[in-house]
Structure 1
Amino acid sequence: MSDIIRINSKGISTEELAPCSAVPAEAVLIGEARETGALHLDAGKVTIGTWECTPYAEILALPDATEYSTILSGRVAITEADGGAQEFGPGDSYVLKSGFEGRFEVLETLRKIYVLIAD
């Protein structure tokens, strides 16, 4: 087994995306989060995967982890608690620091590669 995990430009390593549920139903504000994903690595404090979801909005809270993501396709708007908003699209990356809480709104079906680092 190799210590190298290849992830292609569609966010797929050796498997296809499968139905998943990362979005808590109680956090959803509008729409329906229809999700698929693939887990590439789950190693203690680091989780790496690909996630795709249809348009919806939620209150997102990361009380004890930092998230780094690169958008492969689609668009997302992220609004901080103070109202500052930013939009991200294909090729963009973002970091949400541990403790982030705000609005996460998928504007167009979104596919991203993410890295979660637990505190």
Structure 2
Amino acid sequence: MNSKIRPLPTSDIAGPSMTASSYVTPEALRTGDPHECELSHLVSADGRFVVGIWSAEPYSEHVDSYGGYEYTRVIEGRVTLTDTDGVIRSFGPGDAFTIEPGWSGEYRVDERLMKQFVYYESDDA
């Protein structure tokens, strides 16, 4: 049976089912080595809508213009986003935030980060 409803894991979400990913580009990387991993729960046919889990080791990158809409809930670790206008926001376990297309600034993983995310690649950026 091909069900259109699938429960998502709420515990032991990291593990052998996560695979290497590479959202952070070499051009954007400023410090560290993210060693990114992800587990996609749902990906649209065109690849523009993704629901999943992502993890990274401490690093920082400069984002010129964020390419989509993202909802994030931090599961573990800490991340700090600094807008190009100097506004600093830090998020830790249990915190949630959104990013809109066109955001620019520094995305810094301060402690090993694991997050649940929903991302929609946009034409608005």
Partner of 2:6: 5
Choose 1 or 2 for highest CA Rg: 2
State the match for 1:86 in structure 2.
Answer: 89
> What amino acid is the match of 1:9?
T
- TM-score under structure 1 length normalisation: 0.89
Q: How does 1:20-59 map to 2 (within 5 A)?
A: 20-43=21-44, 44=46, 45-59=48-62
Counterpart position of 2:116: 113
Percent of aligned positions that are identical? 31
Q: Take 2:35 and 2:86, find their aligned partners in 1: how far apart are those partners?
A: 26
**How far 1:18 moved relative to its partner?**
1.4
Residue 8 of structure 2 aligns to a residue whose secondary structure is coil
Structure richer in strand, relative to its length: 1
Consecutive unaligned residues in structure 2, runs of 5 or more: none
Cα deviations by residue, 1:58-90 (Å, 9 ceiling, x for unpaired): 012444411111101000000111010100011
Cα RMSD (Å) of the superposition? 1.9
1:49 is paired with a residue of what secondary structure?
strand
Runs of 4+ in 1 over 4 A off after TM superposition: none
TM-score (norm 2): 0.85
Deviation of the 1:17 alpha carbon: 1.0
- Map Cα deviations across residues 25-82 of structure 1 (whole Å, 9 max, x no partner): 1111111111111111111442111100000000124444111111010000001110
Structure 1, unaligned stretches of length 5 or more? none
